[in-house]
Amino acid sequence: MNTSENHTIHPYPLGISDFYDSIKFSFAGGRNKNCTLHIYKKGAEKPYLSVNMDNSDKTGDVFSCLIKKSALKNWPDTGYEYLYELDGNTYTDPYAPQITGRSHYGKNHTETRGVITLTSDIQNDKRPSFDTKDLIIYQMHVRGFSKHRSSGIKHKGTFKGIIEKIPYLKSLGINCILLLPAYDYNEYISEPDPIGLPDYIEYESKIKLNYWGYTDNAFYMAPKSSYASAPDNSAYEFTSMVKELHNEKIKVFMDIHFPGWANSAFICDCLHNWVINYHIDGFRVNQDVVDNNIVKNDPVLSDIVLLGNYWDNTQVFHQNLPAGMIAASGCHFANSNDGFMFKIRQFIRGDINNVWELIEQLVKDGYKSHDVETINYVATVNGFTLADSVSYNMKHNEANDENNYDGTDYNCSINCGVEGKTRRKKIIEKRSRHIRNELMLLMLSSGIPMLLAGDELGNTQNGNNNAYCQDNEISWLNWKDAGKEDSLSDYVKKLIEFRKNYITGDTRRYSDRLAGNTGGIPNISYHGSEPWSIEPKSYNRSGGFLISDKGLYVAVNMQESAYNFELPKLNDNCVWKPVMWSSIEKPCGFVIQPESVVVFARV
């Protein structure tokens, strides 16, 4: 077999790449003096060919070689796999673009190999172009999103399943999906002894699944093969999913949980891989591994969004540079805001009685211009679903076989009188009011809203707030009520449409500056039952706020009785009409029904 001159082979990119009439292989083999590349026909035990490399084939720690495409008979129609051998041990390439050996979800994978495939064509894809501030994010698990029998699609639990559900996503109004780990992680894990089990009790270890995918045992460059309807084409199917979503102006974010061993080179290579080869629009990363200095001035990542938990606004943007040096524009950074979720829940259940603390959560992001965005939500994958947060006082994780010790005890939840499922009409109605209020307050907030997939369907996990190992109907979305008129999902559609019409856009930021077109009235002002009159009593659960430059007045009444509001007169011709409300029935005048929120627009 003929390879190019060794000194002409560039070590980067790592993994496999197209090189004219050859395929280039680059593998970081460390300090080893020799490395052997083994190429197999699909599923074969013995190599089809092997290539020995030594120090003359190395640049630093990277072994590289070229394989003529003609040497792989009938490739790519005939599938080929590859491994590397170092000191008698074989290794799967961590940069492999596709993995074989993990094609069946939930099965034990004894051997994995890289697949010799060049990344699917993404060149004809056009990324959606709109401001980061206008995102409406939908957090989903690829498998759980459509695996349930009620999903009504052909390719359940796969990338193709998401494609089949694009009309639903489009009708809902979201413009961005955030995928839980969708790279090729190993979900098959051995369960340790349960937490809290006495030492004298013998316990037979069981096998459980890492359903969420937050594990270090993963191939970070490859789409998850068992999430593809045809595992041999996982890279192509993932690319098709991204392109179809982009065609409908829906961005695609990925959750990537980097291992502790990941260095800055690997992190950047990984993010570059998904941005360049798959046109991913953003990432959620674990900041215990990903330091902002790794990515903040990376020019390849300049137009992506990077979600974390505690980006420091003073640290994530470029500092002073030497004269004549042009600064990279840097990522768009955003912080997940658990505080918003807990404050909303605390207010709903009565822990925080003062309505002004609630309003501060809704508008505080607009007091000044922030470079780091805020992601607001009322439920996220790690914790109760929205429906469960108003149905359970305590977590119920017994199905995880960890004696209910796992998962957080801090949920700020309320069961409204009965723990779990009930047929009592008054309790069902109260829970429904809480859910509708929380969703409305989310869509009114100044930050970027994020929905947990299924919350718009009233999805329940039966009180499990840590369903990381539940690949079953506990975690799978039940679609039975989707699309019904006057259903919860119908309400969410109207909320999102309202937000797009009234909140998003260039003037989305709530600000405390004076609004120039309203005679010096502050853009944000606070009101009680009477205009300009604040009732600061600690037990006050009713109040309103005016967003003058948008011509909106938000009335919040979380009391158990109706509350009469007098809205401010901004001018002699000022007339207010209700444009969105959380109650089932349209409000009558300015009397706000118990436990409801109403938005009035100036006409």
pLDDT digits (tens, 9 = 90+) for 365-416: 644 445 788 999 999 999 999 999 999 999 999 999 999 999 999 999 999 9
| Res. 241: pLDDT tops 90 | yes
- How far apart CA 362 and CA 508 sit, in angstroms, is 13
Q: Which residues contact 454 (CB under 8 A, 6 or more apart)?
A: 385, 477, 478
CB environment 105-115: b (16+ within 10 A), e (fewer)? beeebeebbbb
Q: Is domain 132-502 annotated with CATH 3.20.20.80? A: yes
Residue 444 is predicted with a pLDDT of 93
Q: Is 451 exposed, middle or buried (0-12, 13-18, 19+ CB in 10 A)?
A: buried
| Res. 306: pLDDT tops 80 | yes
**pLDDT tier, 549 (very low <50, low <70, confident <90, very high otherwise):** confident
| Res. 517: pLDDT tops 50 | no
| Res. 251: pLDDT tops 50 | yes
Alpha carbon of residue 514 to chain centroid: 36
Helix, strand, coil in percent for the chain, rounding step 5 = 25, 20, 55
Characterize the bridge pairing of strands 176-179 and 137-140: parallel
- For the four alpha carbons of 136, 141, 142 and 146, in that order, the dihedral sign comes to negative
**pLDDT tier, 552 (very low <50, low <70, confident <90, very high otherwise):** very high
Q: Which two tokens stand for residue 475?
A: 């975690």
**pLDDT tier, 231 (very low <50, low <70, confident <90, very high otherwise):** confident
3-state secondary structure of 375: strand
Q: Which two tokens stand for residue 396?
A: 């119920």
Out of 100-104, 510-514, 591-595, pick the least confident: 510-514
Characterize the bridge pairing of strands 80-86 and 62-68: unpaired
Residue 369 is predicted with a pLDDT of 46
pTM value is 0.93
- Residue span(s) of the chain under CATH 2.60.40.1180 come to 524-602
Q: Which two tokens stand for residue 319?
A: 């500092």
- How far apart CA 290 and CA 270 sit, in angstroms, is 12
Q: How many angstroms separate the Cα of 313 from the Cα of each of 133, 214, 530?
A: 16, 27, 39
Out of 293-302, 354-363, 406-415, pick the least confident: 354-363
Q: Which two tokens stand for residue 307?
A: 């979600």
| Res. 202: pLDDT tops 80 | no
Mean of pLDDT values over 491-509:
81
- Residue span(s) of the chain under CATH 2.60.40.10 come to 6-91
- How far apart CA 266 and CA 416 sit, in angstroms, is 48
Cβ atoms of 113 and 80 within 8 Å: the answer is no
CATH of domain 6-91: 2.60.40.10
Residue 569 is predicted with a pLDDT of 85
Better-predicted residue by pLDDT, 96 or 512: 96
Which phi-psi region, left, alpha or beta, contains residue 480 (left: φ > 0; alpha: ψ -120 to 50)? alpha
Characterize the bridge pairing of strands 207-209 and 188-190: antiparallel
- How far apart CA 545 and CA 598 sit, in angstroms, is 11
**pLDDT tier, 195 (very low <50, low <70, confident <90, very high otherwise):** low
Indicate the residue type of 507. T
Q: What is the DSSP letter of 180?
A: S
Mean of pLDDT values over 565-585:
89
Q: Which two tokens stand for residue 65?
A: 């070689």
Characterize the bridge pairing of strands 137-140 and 448-452: parallel
Cβ atoms of 50 and 107 within 8 Å: the answer is no
Better-predicted residue by pLDDT, 358 or 241: 241
- How far apart CA 597 and CA 579 sit, in angstroms, is 11
Mean of pLDDT values over 244-267:
97
Residue 524 is predicted with a pLDDT of 82
- How far apart CA 434 and CA 440 sit, in angstroms, is 10
Residue 430 is predicted with a pLDDT of 96
Cβ atoms of 558 and 541 within 8 Å: the answer is yes
User: Can you give the length of the chain in residues?
Assistant: 603
Which phi-psi region, left, alpha or beta, contains residue 486 (left: φ > 0; alpha: ψ -120 to 50)? left
Residue 194 is predicted with a pLDDT of 54
**pLDDT tier, 516 (very low <50, low <70, confident <90, very high otherwise):** very low
Better-predicted residue by pLDDT, 44 or 189: 44
Average pLDDT, the chain: 88
Side by side, the strands of the sheet bearing 596-602 are: 524-527, 542-547, 552-557, 596-602, 576-581
Mean of pLDDT values over 290-302:
88
Highest mean pLDDT among 110-124, 265-279, 366-380: 265-279
Cβ atoms of 16 and 118 within 8 Å: the answer is yes
CATH classification for the domain delimited by 524-602, as one of 2.60.40.1180, 3.90.550.10, 2.60.40.10, 3.30.750.210: 2.60.40.1180
Out of 31-40, 290-299, 575-584, pick the least confident: 290-299
Q: Which two tokens stand for residue 226?
A: 């068992």
- Residue span(s) of the chain under CATH 3.20.20.80 come to 132-502
Q: Which two tokens stand for residue 128?
A: 């959606």
**pLDDT tier, 322 (very low <50, low <70, confident <90, very high otherwise):** low
Mean of pLDDT values over 238-243:
96
Residue 323 is predicted with a pLDDT of 55
Residue 368 is predicted with a pLDDT of 43
Nearest alpha carbon to residue 596 among 577, 575, 579, 582: 582
- How far apart CA 145 and CA 165 sit, in angstroms, is 9
- How far apart CA 216 and CA 226 sit, in angstroms, is 18
- For the four alpha carbons of 229, 234, 235 and 238, in that order, the dihedral sign comes to positive
Residue 192 is predicted with a pLDDT of 54
Beta bridge pairs of residue 59: 62
CB environment 455-493: b (16+ within 10 A), e (fewer)? bbbbbbbbbbbbbbbbbeebbbbbbeebeeeebbbbbbb
| Res. 318: pLDDT tops 60 | no
| Res. 355: pLDDT tops 70 | yes
| Res. 509: pLDDT tops 60 | no
Cβ atoms of 26 and 63 within 8 Å: the answer is yes
- How far apart CA 197 and CA 474 sit, in angstroms, is 24
3-state secondary structure of 305: strand
Measure the CA angle with vertex 151, ends 146 and 154; round to 5°.
80
Out of 70-84, 394-408, 514-528, pick the least confident: 514-528
Residue 201 is predicted with a pLDDT of 53
- For the four alpha carbons of 525, 528, 534 and 540, in that order, the dihedral sign comes to negative
Better-predicted residue by pLDDT, 379 or 123: 379
Mean of pLDDT values over 516-542:
75
